[in-house]
Amino acid sequence: MNTIIKVKNISKSYSKGLLALDKVSLKVNQGKVLVIMGPSGSGKSTLIRTFNGLETFDTGEIDILGIKINSNYNERRIQKIRKRVGMVFQQFNLFPHLSILDNITLAPLNVQKRSRVDAEEFGMYLLQKMGISMHAEKYPSQLSGGEQQRVAIARALALKPELLLFDEPTSALDPERINEVLDVMRKLAQEGMTMVVVTHEINFAKDVSDQILFMDSGKVIETSTPDIFFSNAKHERSRKFLNQLDK
Amino acid sequence: MIYKMHQKKVKKYIEKIKEILFLNSLNNFLIILLIFTICIFSLQSFSSVIFNSKWSVVTTNIPLFAFGTFPSDQSWRPIIWIVSLLLTSVLSIIPPKWKWLRKNLLFAWMGMIPLGIFLLYGGLGLQTVMSRNFGGLTLTIFLTVCSSMFALPLGIGLAFCRQSSLFVVKKLSSIYIDTMRAIPLIAVLFFGQLLIPLFLPLGLEIDRVWRAIFAFTLFVSAYIAEDIRGGLQAIPNTQIESAKSLGLNQLQIIKFILIPQSLRIALPALTNQVIGLFQNTSLMSILGLVEFLGIGRSILANPKFIGQYIEVYIWLASVYWIICTILALMAKYLEKRLKIA
């Protein structure tokens, strides 16, 4: 089985000596879903953002799809990774001045240099898959949060990525709208997409994930399968966190 | 019992209605009184304008106001240019259904300057016209359009340079912007008209219209740069992050994300600049270009029309007012349309 992500002992500290990441190591195989959980400020977002070079780190090494990056910022390698890795953000971050379809075709047209017909066809296919093809000509501000997030997922998929990163994709949504996004993500996981998801959605983590990574103050506290993690967590800290979530 | 209660209610209503009506009639009376007084005062002060003015000074000189001393048999040329300008701006504001036209509007705008030069200066089969024969509204519009179209890209460039991480580039552009903003426009225009010819090597001569456009461009681009910088700072960093995560490189992010969004945010300020520029071109009448205001002044110097200031200046003011209002309305409409997007 191919290893998609291999992280070896990465650390990152902020100027005040605060450790954002403290010797984090992990491995994700092809077709697997890794869910990262932890209290806010535990470094989960920082970790997931290092995977496509949005965040730098001080020591250690990351190997993504066979491309190695280390503490020296290497624009060309990071660019190579970004072309093969999609990312979905908490605040959707759609481009407000472009129509939905243009949002999706922007990268295929300009990064992959595909033809317009080809890119638009694939874009429409993705929108159909997300169940929002009727909004193709609208603008992001005319859509609800859940619809915007599904557009963002379609935009990330437009480059046919081999790995998808989700940074708290449902945290900015209405409770009623969360499921429409989670359903799409479930579908992707079933299709065998390799995913790393930072989330607080316990049910999603239970159903979909193959592995759960629990972090606190920059350290990996525990890595287990969802069965073990939710019923019988190894660590005191994880149990405390889960109790808090249940309340 | 019930009937009595009804009566009471009805009485109350009638009272209320009376109250409202009475108040209203007092209001109406006051308003009518106010309008009446204003009418009387304005009749008194403007009666000479309304009853004694001789508008022949305007009507007989319409071609002069419009084209200056452009050869009268060639006046179709500026007309074509101005009409095509109007057409392009209407097309940009009310987007046509055809996608290819929408996509090529930028090129249409860029083509306006060469078209204007060709139509006004002539050559290539058209009778050549010297720039000293340009004048009137044609020259005013030519100055405004050329200066703003050169100043916009220059201003965008300066704004990005000012945000650059390269120290020298950043410092140079901020020095340029701050200096230009610290000099009065008239000084820059004097520099353009009087000093540039001294700097140029012998035999090389730039004509006066282009020296004016050059000076206006230098001046306005500094202001535009600041407007664009404001737009750039209003774009959240997450936009750049999501563009990066899609694999777009630095240039593509500038082209597809930063420039369109900052222009959109800066649009009200940019409209201000264009309207200001349009009115500031009238400064050139002091420096020897007979643009719209200049034509008015030279007509007043004609012994035939001596002393008819009021007519000429009311005419000038109303034309400036109409054109600026049209510009403002267009920008307002455009803003409204871009708000959804």
The more confidently predicted of residues B258 and A243 is B258
The answer to whether residue A66 sits within a structural domain is: yes
Of A13-27, A47-61, B223-237, B289-303, least confident by mean pLDDT is A13-27
Q: Please give the pLDDT value at position B120.
A: 87
The answer to whether residue A123 sits within a structural domain is: no
Cβ within 8 Å, pair B242-A87: yes
CA A101, A102, A108, A109 dihedral sign is positive
| Closest partner CB to A93 (pick from B242, B252, B340) | B242
Cβ within 8 Å, pair A89-B242: yes
Those residues with Cβ within 8 angstroms of residue B150's Cβ, 6 or more apart along the chain or in another chain: B213, B217, B221
Q: Any CB–CB contact under 8 A between A54 and chain B?
A: yes
Is it the case that residue B2 has pLDDT exceeding 70? no
The answer to whether residue A222 sits within a structural domain is: yes
pLDDT grade, residue B43 (50/70/90)?
confident
Is it the case that residue B48 has pLDDT exceeding 80? no
Predicted-complex ipTM score: 0.90
Give the Cα separation of B139 and A185 in Å (integer). Answer: 62
A202 to chain B nearest CA, in Å?
26
Q: Please give the pLDDT value at position A1.
A: 66
Q: Which residue of B has its CA nearest to A76?
A: B249
Is it the case that residue A118 has pLDDT exceeding 90? yes
Tell which residue, A191, A217, A214, has the closest CA to residue A26.
Answer: A214
Is it the case that residue B202 has pLDDT exceeding 90? no
Is it the case that residue A194 has pLDDT exceeding 80? yes
List the single best residue of B242, B250, B253, B335 to mutate versus A (max A Cβ within 10 A).
B242
Is it the case that residue A225 has pLDDT exceeding 80? yes
Give the domain range for residue A233: 3-95+161-246
Q: Any CB–CB contact under 8 A between A155 and chain B?
A: yes
The answer to whether residue A154 sits within a structural domain is: no
Computed over every residue of chain A, the mean pLDDT equals 91
For the domain covering B65-70+129-340, report its CATH number: 1.10.3720.10
Question: Which CATH number do you get for residue A187?
Answer: 3.40.50.300
State how far the alpha carbon of B281 is from the alpha carbons of A199, B85, B153, B258, B274, in Å: 59, 18, 20, 31, 11
Chain B positions touching A139 (Cβ under 8 A) are 340-341
A237 to chain B nearest CA, in Å?
32
Model confidence pLDDT, tens digit, residues B278-298: 999 999 999 888 999 999 999
Q: Structure tokens of B279?
A: 């009115």
Q: What's the mean pLDDT in B90-107?
A: 78
Q: How many Cβ atoms are within 10 Å of B316's Cβ, its own excluded? A: 18
Model confidence pLDDT, tens digit, residues B71-98: 888 888 999 999 999 998 888 888 767 7
Q: What's the mean pLDDT in A123-139?
A: 92
Chain A positions touching B264 (Cβ under 8 A) are 97
The answer to whether residue A18 sits within a structural domain is: yes
Our count of domains for chain A comes to: 1
pLDDT grade, residue B258 (50/70/90)?
very high
Cβ within 8 Å, pair A106-B238: no
A88 to chain B nearest CA, in Å?
8
Is it the case that residue A16 has pLDDT exceeding 80? no
Q: Any CB–CB contact under 8 A between B251 and chain A?
A: no
The secondary structure of A102-122 as a DSSP string is: HHHHHHHHHTS---HHHHHHH
The answer to whether residue A125 sits within a structural domain is: no
**If DSSP codes are grouped into helix, strand and coil, which group holds residue A208?**
helix
Q: Please give the pLDDT value at position B1.
A: 61
A110 to chain B nearest CA, in Å?
7
